[in-house]
Amino acid sequence: MNNKIAITALSSISALGSNTKTVWENYLKADHFLKEQDFKTHKALVAAISKDDQKEISDLRNSDLKYKNLDNSVLYAMYIARKAVKEAGWQAGDNFGINIGSSRGATALFEKYHQEYLENQQSSTLASPTTTLGNISSWLAHDLRSQGPELSHSITCSTALHALTNGVAWLNSGMSNKFLVGGSEASLTPFTIAQIKALKIYAENASEEYPCKALDLNKTRNSMVLGEGAGVICMETNPSKAALAYIEGVGYATEILKHNISISEDAECFQKSMKMALKNTNPNEVDVIVMHAPGTRKGDSTEMKAIEKVFGSKTPALTTNKWKIGHTFGASGILSLELAILMMQQQHFIPVPYLRETTKPKQIKKVLVNAVGFGGNAVSVLLSSEA
């Protein structure tokens, strides 16, 4: 990277809440937010947004006739983007870019419209415009009155951090000096849950104290759980206000596929992405790594091996949030980034409660955040508390 980029605002919605104060208070608790939900044909553990936040989203949907038929993935992003832009001091009509991605996109609408087609052999008029890939960013540009570029993509579970790297590229190019980036996922639908369960990686025991054993390398079975949510950050090259954190480095890599959901034994993609993000930084300066760690046996262990390859015997403190809020697919990377920023601000490390041996950092000035999608699409982002 040519220069550090300032993060001047962040906002999120997840099972932890929808404002920074509540999110941090819930991180301080050792409780998880995974609950069993009935999906008619099957039950599954999930991490859903609260009823209060569901009402907020419902109110947003009903605030404008044009919003009534939008998917929750769009509304989640719209709800938090308004907050972030306000916090950053950006105005309607400003020339800022938008890149919000999603792994699944409007999956609830896809399922709804497809079922209607099977029953009536006709498609709804709004089926196409409300389920297109660029749906989220385009609606945010409309709602925020942005005059800058609007982009969208889907790169499975690393989508949000890919959006961040793309925003960094635009800012470093000089083609823009402000970018809103992130990811949104409203994936708690019957077909989506069934797909992940078919992969044999879903947690099944709802009675356990911690059903998702993310980062526990001694677990004997897969324990991934899905969550929903969205997160965005405002990035600037010439901020007019104090920054929450700075992006010091970004890295990315893709492995050659051996299987549709494969990743190598020592996660070569993560090794490459972490080394790229650390290009101008001594690895010993990294205080914490917020791992992707989805709760699957192979996913967790391969990422750990990659970290050991890059950092050697001086491994930073390790943590993850998927034991608490589940795996939010394309939004997961940005929600991990939020945890990293909050830990730096509060100078307080959030451990994984069921891990007996946990290294705690003496300070939290630099945090590395990892995300990877099916097939080894890895992204690593190095954050710093200082310019």
pLDDT tens-digit series, residues 243-256 = 999 999 999 999 87
Percent over 70 (pLDDT), the chain: 97
- 46 in any annotated domain: yes
Position 260 pLDDT exceeds 70: no
Among the candidates 202, 236, 270, a domain finishes at: 236
Pair 15, 59 in one domain: yes
53 and 178 belong to one structural domain: yes
Identify whether residues 219 and 258 lie together within a single domain: no
- Domain check: are 10 and 148 in the same one? yes
- Does 333 reside within a domain? yes
Query: Which residues form the domain of 301?
Result: 246-384
Q: What angle do CA 155, 160, 166 make, to 5 degrees?
A: 85
Q: What CATH number is associated with residue 263?
A: 3.40.47.10
Percentage above 90 pLDDT, the chain:
87
Q: What is the pLDDT of residue 359?
A: 87
| Contact partners, residue 377, CB within 8 Å, separation at least 6 | 155, 156, 158, 162, 252, 254, 269
Q: 142: Cβ–Cβ under 8 A, 6 or more apart, which residues? A: none
Residues 110 and 153 in one domain: yes
- The answer on 318 and 217 residing in a single domain is no
Residue 241 falls within a domain, yes or no?
Answer: no
Overall number of domains in the chain: 2
Q: What is the pLDDT of residue 217?
A: 95
Q: How far apart are CA 60 and CA 68, in angstroms?
A: 9
Give the bridge partners for 48, in sequence order: none
Phi-psi region of 74 (alpha: psi -120 to 50; beta: other; left: phi over 0): alpha
- 305 found inside a domain: yes
For residue 281, count CB atoms less than 10 angstroms from its CB and return exposed for 0-12, middle for 13-18, buried for 19 or more.
middle
Closest CA to 202 of 34, 32, 45, 373: 45
Is residue 220 located within the same domain as residue 257? no
Q: Given pLDDT bands bounded at 50, 70 and 90, which one contains residue 176? A: very high
State whether 182 and 56 are in the same domain.
yes
pLDDT reading at 375 higher than 80: no
200 and 302 in a common domain: no
pLDDT tier at 257, thresholds 50, 70, 90: low
- Rounded CA-CA distance 336/284 in Å is 21
The pTM assigned to this predicted structure is 0.96
Residue where a domain terminates, one of 236, 260, 284 = 236
Q: Are 131 and 109 in contact (CB under 8 A)?
A: yes
Binning pLDDT at 50, 70 and 90, where does residue 258 land?
Answer: low
Residues 112 and 80 in one domain: yes
- Please check whether residue 232 is in contact with residue 180, taking contact to mean a CB–CB distance below 8 angstroms: yes
- Does any domain span residue 329? yes
Residue 84 is assigned to a structural domain of this protein: yes
Residues 51, 172 within the same domain:
yes
Task: Please identify, among 181, 214, 236, the residue that sits at the C-terminal boundary of a domain.
Answer: 236
Question: Could you read off the pLDDT of 103-156 as tens digits, one per residue?
Answer: 999 999 999 999 999 999 999 998 988 998 789 999 999 999 999 999 999 999
Indicate whether 203 belongs to any domain. Answer: yes
Residues 199 and 260 grouped into a single domain: no
Residue 185 included in any domain = yes
